[in-house]
Amino acid sequence: MDKKVLRILGIVLLIGIVVAGSSLGYVIGYTRGMSSKQSWRSGDWGKLDEALFAIEQYYLEETEREKIIEGALYGLVGSLDDPYSEYLSIEDLVDMQIQLGNDYQGIGVEVTMENNRVTVVMPFAGSPAQEAGLLPGDQIVEVNGVNIEGLPLTEAVKDIRGEAGTEVTLGIIREGLPSIFQVTIKRATIERSSVEVEMLPDGIGYLVLTQFAESSGKEFAQGIRELKKQGMKGLVLDLRDNPGGYLDVAAEIGRQIVPKGLIVYTEDRNGKRTGEYTSSLRDRGFPMVVLINENSASASEIIAGALKDNNVPVIGATSYGKGTVQSSYELGDGSYVKLTTNKFFTPKGKEIQGNGVTPDYPVPMDMVNRLPNLYFLGTQELGSEALHIYQLQAMLEALGYEVKATGIYDQATADAVAAFQGANKLSPTGKLDRETTDVLNQRWEKYTRDSDAQLQKAVEVLSQLIQGN
């Protein structure tokens, strides 16, 4: 019987459950079997057999053979020192197949592995992770008091997932905070759309694509239709912080906007071309530009690279540089070994792996501009300590108030809150109440939009293209 092989892209786990592309970026695709000629000679297993025998015969405690073998498999693939190759148990596989759906249970955050630490790419809007104050760049080093540094990504996040209504305590390292910060998050059912659209002035359509999930192709098409109905003259496609997803979905979206020809092709370790994805689109019907940043990865880079090779301007920062494809080989019990097997290239042959997509218009962006709206978690008074207080302080500092981000609601924070309240016709109590939070978020939305230099440049470039048509 042929053994299945899953074709995989992406860098992230969507902890939700979401192991999906960060957060997960896992991608499912083609099938291939392993012949018996590829199996090891029996003698190659000598030391492993001897070690297993010794453990079962002499180890002080009772052992479970299945658990020992699972551990050996994790170690076997881990020895490759490749963050994208790993052993997937049956439990891992079930999680992976759930992950790129739009509904799941968990804390709602995209993560990747950086320097052997689970690192937050982006919390989802409205998720428990965002409410708790998790921010891009946060490093999760403990789960319920257990250190997870150095573990494979899927293994490290197992205990972060869980049923809605249950709680998990994370140990967070954040730049600027002196020690590990503990935060308890209540898991919930996460509903997430991949596409958000908005009509900007002068006929400019704005479409944000957050991931390449199962339904993203249809959502993308619907978003384009909505913008066209509103009189769209040109499109800004925002792929910033998009960690990737299904390769087939990337191709599906590519066929809607990439001109006739190659979208992407793959090569194996010998440089042999192993796959091609093409478009038959003759006329997109509108000019467009693309926004990317350092967290745009995998499938996002396929789309950005294909469009750039077809003279669509790319604006922002050089993308992540995740240009490999993983194939997962089914083992006898239904578990899988996921291995990096191919690299992908843009239509003009540019290698993404380690290089990323370079923007035509490089525009830096301050990290503070990526802070989401602040969630109200009860009135904050002097001495309170929480991650979302750190966010409050960062927002107030960006808005021009004298306060430093420490995560502690100190007197300087109370004074800054009182000053903000006074400037916005609120009672200057110095306490962060719901009304103050709502007004702060209104000011923050305007500030981030007005100071989004990358989006402003995209609108400027697209306006010139529209005028030239």
Query: Catalytic residue positions?
Result: 298, 322, 326
Q: What b/e string do you get for 208-242 counting C-beta neighbours within 10 Å, with b at 16 or more?
A: bbbbbbbebbebbeebbebbeeeebbbbbbbbbbb
SS3 389: helix
Helix (H) or strand (E) holding 96: helix 90-99
Q: Going by C-beta distance under 8 Å and a sequence separation of 6 or more, which residues neighbour residue 341?
A: 268, 269, 325, 326, 327
Which residue spans within 132-281 are E strands per DSSP?
A: 139-143, 146-147, 167-173, 181-186, 188-191, 195-200, 204-209, 234-238, 261-267, 273-279
Beta bridge partners, 291, equal: 238, 315
SS3 149: coil
Cβ-contact 302, 317 below 8 angstroms:
no
Residue 115: exposure state from Cβ atoms within 10 A (0-12, 13-18, ≥19): exposed
Residues, the chain: 469
Cβ-contact 272, 336 below 8 angstroms:
no
Radius of gyration over every alpha carbon of the chain, rounded to an integer in angstroms: 24
For residues 183 and 171, what is the distance between their CA atoms, to the nearest angstrom? 7
Parallel, antiparallel or unpaired: strands 361-362 and 314-316: parallel
